[in-house]
Structure 1
Amino acid sequence: MTIHRAEMLKILAEAMTPVEREYTDIELSVSGTLPPALNGVLYRNGPGHFERGGVPYGHAFDGDGHVCRFEFVHGRVRYTNRFVRTQAFCAEEGAGRMLWRGFGTQKPGGLLANGLRLRFKNAANTNVIWQGRRLLALWEGGAPHRLDPVTLATLGEEDFAGLLRNRFDPLSRWSTPLLPFSAHPQLDAESGELINFGLVLGHPSRLLLYRVDARGMMATPEVHQLDRFSFVHDIAVTARWICVLLPFADFDIPRALLGLKSPAASLKLNTERPMQALLIPRAGGPTQLIDGVPGFVFHIAAASDRDDGGLDLHVIRYPSFPALGDVDGFFREVEQTGGLPRLERLQIDPAANRCSLSPCSEEVGFELPTVNPGRLGAERRQIYGIGTPVGRRLPFFSAVQRFDMQTGELIQQDLGADLPGEPIPTATRPDQEDWLLSLVYRGAERRSDLLVLRAEDLAIQATIELPNAVPPGFHGCWVPADPSEKMR
């Protein structure tokens, strides 16, 4: 199937149509057969608005968070969707115009409206997780928002009993009253412990590590000083290590603070300097900083310890920082340079103070990776994600895919001109393969379906039709049904 850039851009533009209606606990139509054992709730988050007062957002990371809930009960599916009612969302809804700067969006009004405006909109649009009997909508630059797990009503910002209160210098406290809590926490499915991070700009800049136990109780955040403030989206956690990849993707902080550029527009990647791997022992002790390889990593697919004391990471690496605010420009650059994000194996050897990189699958792009839940650092065999169909030149992520880390086998389910979202596994242990759930935007029909795919071969088992079109989003989670518990 050949898809030209103009057609692809048209489909993407149509997919970004704002969500206009919220539904409450309606039953959805199912084609095919739902697996009898598939009982639980799928939560999924992504931007649902792409403009405010007629002014388009300059980056997908600025779109207002919109959470979908799919409840599977004995072969039937019920659906609820809600926007996250953050302070910014409610204020801008009332005003009918943009009131905050975003990660990639300047307020109308030039320097006067943006200069020294150090509080950015928390869009709560990147992930949604269930941990410690809390449902949290996440955005990496701010605090989590707690949601009702049944109705999706917004219950307010979550500060973990005050431990996210910013107690650093006055300027930091004023610009960021609550410390940032990343959208990519690492959850140990065996112990229930959650490990997350946040980055705080300052002199010095700081990396904060958070540990939240299975009851939802946070320990005092651990503070690590950084020589520079960079852009980090994800971390790796194994039994021995917490690994933070620090690319030389740095913000032009003076221009961003003065309002001359948005943070995203001021971000530049130095492709001649390698990423650095910051290794923090989980049991405590001195940290180690190791020069790695050039490029930029949004997502780390899997991480495990080696017997020799090192660690293996499977990462999605971009050769240059993707200009996601300019989709046409990004696709044009990829066509010219072949710069698709690839799944690669990054081996880190602390004893030798070095890293090495090897490709996993050179011919296709890879993004939004997922693995089965389990103990942090446990070896996984399969990585799921979305990708570019083999032989398709354009960077059109229209396939769900499965990569076997032991054999190197890649399986794809090509969806043609449709846009699949992150495939979320419903397995309950690392060595199990049962089902994947992926929300798909149908380009030709301009609507959305939820697909149930068999994980081992990506065969489509069932298609669940939504009553509305949902834009391609980011991340989500599966909560298996537990007969001994209710969601609240």
Structure 2
Amino acid sequence: MTINRAEMLKILAEAMMPIEREYTDSELRVSGTLPPSLNGVLYRNGPGRFERGGVPYSHAFDGDGHLCRFEFAQGRVRYTNRFVRTRAYCAEEAAGRMLWRGFGTQKPGGLWTNGLRLRFKNAANTNVIWHGNRLLALWEGGAPHRLDPVTLATLGEEDFAGQLRNRFDPLSRWNSPLLPFSAHPQQDAETGELINFGLVLGHPSRLLLYRVDAQGMMAPPDVHQLDRFSFVHDIAVTARWICVLLPFADFDIPRALLGLQSPAASLKLDRDRPMQALLIPRAGGPTQLIDAVPGFIFHIAAASDRDDGGLDLRVIRYPNFPALGDVECFFREVEQTDGLPRLEWLQIDPAANRCSLSPCSEEVGFELPTVSPGPLGAKPRQIYGIGTPAGRRLPFFSAIQRFQMQTGELIQQDLGADLPGEPIPTAMRPDQEDWLLSLVYRAAERRSDLLVLRAADLAIQASIELPHAIPPGFHGCWVPTKPSPVG
């Protein structure tokens, strides 16, 4: 199937149409047969609105968070969707216009309305997790929002009994009363502990590490000072290490603060300088900073400890920082420079103070990686994700794929012009049969389906038809038992 750039841009523009209706507990039509063992709830988050008051958002990261809930029970699927009613969303909905700057979007009015406006909209649009009997919508630049797990009603910001209260200097507290809680926490399948991070701009800038036990109780954050403030989206956690990859993707802080550019527009990647791997021992002790490799990493697919004390990361690496605020520019850059993200193997050797990089699969792009849950630091058997169909340039991410770690085998389910989302595994134990759930935008019909695929070979077991289209989104989670409503 051949698709040119103009056709792909048209498909994406149609896919980005805003969500107009919220459904409540609607039964969905199923084509095929649902696995009898598939009982639980899939939650999925992503931007559901890309404009306000006729002004388009300039970056996908600014779209208003929108949650989908799919309840699987006895061969049937019921569907509920809601926008996350953040304070910013409710205020802008009432005003009918943009009231906050975003990560990549300036308010109308130029310098007068953007200069020294240090509070940015928490879009709550990046991930959703179930932990400690809480359903949380996450966005890396702010606090989580707690939701009712059945109705998806927004219950307010979650501060973990005050542990997310900002206790730094007065300017920092005024700018951000609650500390940022990133969108990529890591959960230990054995203990239930959740480990996450946040980055706070200042003099000095700070990396905050959070530990939340299985009951949802957060310990006081660990604080690590940083020499510079760069863009970090994900971290790696093993039994031995917490690893933070610090790219030389730095914000032009003066231009962003003065309102001359949005934070995203001010971000520049130094392609000649290697990112740095900050290693923090989980058992305590001195940290270590090691020069790694050039490029930029949004997502870390897997992290495992080695017997020699080092660690192996499977990362999704971009040679350039992707121009996600300008999709046409991103397409053009990829075509001219082969700038697709690839799945690569980053080996970190703390004893020798060095890193090495080798490809996992050279021929295709790879993004939105997932693995089945397991102990932190254990090497997964396979990595799932979306990617580029082999032998085809466009569309860039229209295949669901499975990379086998031991053999290096890559298999794909090519969806033509349709756009799949993150494939979410359902197996909670190694002895369970694994299924993948992926929300797919159907380009020809301008609607969305939820696909159920057999993880072993990516065969489509069932297709679940939604009553409307859902824009391409980010992350989600599978909860194998039905959560109870908040009382």
User: Could you tell me the TM-score, scaled by structure 2's length?
Assistant: 0.99
- Cα distance in 1 for residues equivalent to 2:394 and 2:29: 33
Q: Give the aligned partner of residue 113 of structure 1.
A: 113
Q: How does 1:177-256 map to 2 (within 5 A)?
A: 177-256=177-256
Deviations 1:25-55 (A, max 9, x none): 0100000000000000000000000000000
Superposition map of 1:431-442 within 5 A? 433-442=433-442
Task: Give yes or no for the alignment of 1:320 onto 2:320.
Answer: yes
**Cα deviation 1:337-358 (Å, max 9, x = unaligned):** 0010000000000000000000
5 Å matches for 1:367-406?
367-394=367-394, 396-406=396-406
Kindly report which structure 2 residues correspond to 1:325-364, keeping only aligned pairs within 5 A, or say none. Answer: 325-364=325-364
Q: 1:72 — aligned with what? A: 72
User: CA RMSD, aligned part only?
Assistant: 0.9
Instruction: State the match for 1:415 in structure 2.
Output: 415
Deviation at 1:486, TM superposition (A): 3.7
Distance in 1 (CA, whole Å) between partners of 2:214 and 2:266 is 39
> Partner of 2:47 in structure 1?
47
Q: CA–CA distance in 1 between the matches of 2:441 and 2:50?
A: 16
Q: Is the 8 A contact 2:201 2:229 kept in 1?
A: yes
Q: Quick one: distance in 2 between partners of 1:9 and 1:443?
A: 11
* SS state at 2:264 partner: coil
Does the Cα contact within 8 Å between 2:420 and 2:441 map onto a contact in 1? yes
Q: Specify the alignment match of 1:129 in structure 2.
A: 129
Question: Does the CA-based 8 Å contact 2:143-2:179 persist in structure 1?
Answer: yes
Which amino acid counterpart does residue 77 of structure 2 have in structure 1? V
**Structure 2 equivalent of residue 6 of structure 1:** 6
Question: Partners of 2:69 and 2:439 in 1: how far apart?
Answer: 11
1:426 matches 2:444: no
**Letter of the 1:326 counterpart:** D
Counterpart of 1:288 in structure 2 is 288
Instruction: Report deviation, 1:182.
Output: 0.1
Q: Is the 8 A contact 2:395 2:417 kept in 1?
A: no
Distance 2:77 2:294 in 1: 45
Cα distance in 2 between the residues matched to 1:422 and 1:329 = 23
Q: Is the 8 A contact 2:419 2:442 kept in 1?
A: yes
Q: Contact (CA 8 Å) 2:150, 2:484: kept in 1 or not?
A: no
Q: Secondary structure at the match of 1:82?
A: strand
Secondary structure of the residue aligned to 2:155 is: strand
Question: Is the 8 Å Cα contact of residues 271 and 294 (structure 1) preserved in structure 2?
Answer: yes
Within 1, Cα distance between the matches of 2:478 and 2:316?
Answer: 22
Q: Partner of 2:445 in structure 1? A: 445
Aligned to 2:471: 471
Report the AA paired with residue 276 of structure 2.
Q
Aligned counterparts of 1:359 and 1:424: Cα–Cα separation in 2: 24
Amino acid at match of 1:63: G
Q: 1:239 to 1:430 in 2, by over 3 A?
A: farther
Provide the aligned length of Structure 1 versus Structure 2: 486
Q: Which residue of 2 aligns with 1:154?
A: 154
* TM-aligned CA deviation for residue 393 of structure 1: 1.8
For 1:203, what is the secondary structure of its paired residue?
A: coil
Partner of 2:33: 33
The answer on whether the counterparts of 2:44 and 2:128 sit within 8 Å (CA) in structure 1 is yes
Q: Distance in 2 between matches of 1:107 and 1:271?
A: 30
Distance 2:335 2:46 in 1: 27
In the alignment, is the contact (CA less than 8 A) between 2:424 and 2:478 conserved in 1?
yes
Runs of 4+ more than 2 Å apart: 429-433, 485-488
Tell me the residue number matched to 1:93. 93
2:315 touches 2:344 (CA, 8 Å); kept in 1? Answer: yes
Is 2:198–2:207's contact at 8 Å kept on the other side of the alignment? yes
Tell whether the 8 Å contact from 2:137 to 2:144 is kept in structure 1 after alignment. yes
Contact 1:133 1:487 (C-alpha < 8 Å) held by counterparts: no
Cα deviation for residue 190 of structure 1 reads 1.8
User: Where in structure 1 are there 5+ consecutive unaligned residues?
Assistant: none
Pairwise CA distance, 1:374? 1.3
Partner amino acid for 2:324? L
Quote the offset at 1:430 in angstroms: 5.0
**Cα pair distance change 1:465/1:395, threshold 3 Å:** closer
- Per-residue deviation, 1:442: 0.2
Q: Structure 2: any 5+ residue segments left out of the alignment? A: none
CA–CA distance in structure 2, aligned partners of residues 393 and 47 of structure 1: 26
CA distance in 1, matches of 2:47, 2:362: 30
